[in-house]
Amino acid sequence: MSTKADEKIQDKADRGPGQVEVIVKKAMVEQKIEERDRETREQNLIIHRVPESTKADSQERANQDQTYAERHFAEPLELERIDIKAAEPLLATVKRRKLQWFGHVTRHDNLAKTILQGTLEGGRRRVRQRKSWQENIAEWTSLSLSERLAAARNRRAWRQISIFTATLSPERPGGQGTSFDFRFKHVCPTSVVAENMLAETTTSLDTHHNPNSTPEETAKCYDNWSGNYEKELMTQLKCTAPRECADAMEKTMGGSNRKEVRILDVAAGTGLCAEELVKKGFTNIDAVDGSQGMLDLAERKQIYRRLICDFVGPNPLDIENNTYDAIACCSGFAAGHLKEDCLPELIRVVKPGGYIVITFREEWLHQYEDYKDKLEPAMACLQDQGLWERVSRGVFPNFYPGKNGITIVYKVL
């Protein structure tokens, strides 16, 4: 293998003996400095490649990682500074999956955190010098989570987001020995950032879907969540369920005098579905929900005639038989929420010939034990008993980004 010293001797061979000797000594010194700096870098870098022995022992995992990388990464993209709350899940993903694409994050976690938090002045200074980066950041952060995810999944729309450029020195964490410039890079499209941020938010939402919670615990959880409920559900995730439920109601009851159609909004929450119904001309709406905190916010909107704070289940509600022309139940069926034992009570309060529109996340039918092989069979059993008949069943995309929803409509007999 040709060394740097050999190359310099070859390049300067036409010079005199004294000059060649000086050049050789200088080249050898430079080579030693390079070797020392390379060793220093290898000792201090927080990202290390997987040893060959480890690769041999975990070839199957390596293949899985490579498949994951090829699916998500088409070309190197440099991440620019992003909020620490978005960066932490990204780093956690790197550690959890241990992707060869990134290398193993095995040492100097304190340095990783320092870089991610943006405390290194060199990184901030360089970012300020590049207005196009700042413009990209501003454009990116102005998008909602669902918009970020949609843009990130479109490879042509990937944005260049860099996290930091940092200078390490002996005084900084991990900077042992000679100082050197270190550019903290992720070969990563924005889809990974968006998906991690989205996962973080949907995880927050799903903490309210605890299958082991009592109705009282679930109600308290929603009381505490009520202040951020609409922001997380609609502004960040752009949940389409309220609109889908209202659209189904319009298709079902559209031929009636909408102002006279009396609707019960079951699991009404803060009134998101009712707002969509009002836009379509349905104004005679009552609400029932187990969370008083959610109903207090709904009351301020002045879209309900009556608000009932009660748990919907097999227990009789404070409602007379055959009261409503229709029921809208948007997102009421979820883990730890309504169960199939509430269906007879819903049928009881609807007039014969009226309709019940139910919208929820499709995945609950397959993942939640109380619904899996139970909810739809219970619906079919009530139809066999002649209590109602199914009018339609349809799946729609993006209940939340990446998650399908389902709307089922029944006619009460």
Lowest mean per-residue pLDDT among 234-238, 345-349, 397-401? 234-238
Question: What average pLDDT does the segment 164-171 reach?
Answer: 29
Lowest mean per-residue pLDDT among 20-34, 85-99, 109-123? 109-123
Find where tokens 């193993």 sit.
104
Q: Which residue has the higher pLDDT, 89 or 401?
A: 401
Instruction: Count the alpha carbons within 13 Å of 246 in the hemisphere toward its beta carbon.
Output: 20
Q: Is the pLDDT of residue 136 over 70?
A: no
pTM for this prediction:
0.56
Catalogue all structural domains in the chain, each as residue range(s) with its CATH number.
73-199 (no CATH), 215-412 (3.40.50.150)
Question: What average pLDDT does the segment 209-219 reach?
Answer: 84
Over 255-291, what HEC string results? CCCCCCCEEEEECCCCCHHHHHHHHCCCCEEEEEECC
* Mean pLDDT, all residues of the chain: 69
DSSP assigned state of 340: G
First to last CA, the chain: 87
pLDDT at residue 207 in the model:
59
Selection from 371, 220, 214, 237 nearest residue 408 by Cα: 371
pLDDT in tens, 364-386: 998 888 898 899 999 999 999 99
Over 198-226, what HEC string results? HHHHHHHHHCCCCCCCCHHHHHHHHHHHH
pLDDT in tens, 304-337: 999 999 999 999 999 999 999 999 999 999 988 9
Residues whose CB is less than 8 angstroms from the CB of residue 391 and which lie 6 or more positions away in sequence, other chains included? 252, 355, 409, 410, 411
Residues 69, 99 contacting (CB under 8 angstroms): yes
pLDDT at residue 124 in the model:
37
pLDDT at residue 28 in the model:
62
pLDDT in tens, 340-365: 999 999 999 999 999 999 999 999 99
Q: Which residues pair with 358 in a beta bridge?
A: 329, 408
Between the ranges 8-12, 135-139, 285-289, where is the mean pLDDT highest? 285-289
Q: Which residue has the higher pLDDT, 309 or 197?
A: 309
What is the spatial order of strands in the sheet that 262-266 belongs to?
A: 306-309, 284-289, 262-266, 324-330, 350-361, 403-412, 388-400
pLDDT in tens, 140-151: 556 555 555 555
Selection from 282, 281, 374 nearest residue 333 by Cα: 374
pLDDT at residue 410 in the model:
98
H-assigned helices in 154-214? 190-206
pLDDT in tens, 108-128: 333 333 333 333 333 333 333
Q: Which residue has the higher pLDDT, 131 or 357?
A: 357
Instruction: Count the alpha carbons within 13 Å of 265 in the hemisphere toward its beta carbon.
Output: 31
What is the Cα–Cα distance from 311 to 322, expressed in whole angstroms? 19
pLDDT at residue 6 in the model:
53
Q: Which residue has the higher pLDDT, 37 or 367?
A: 367
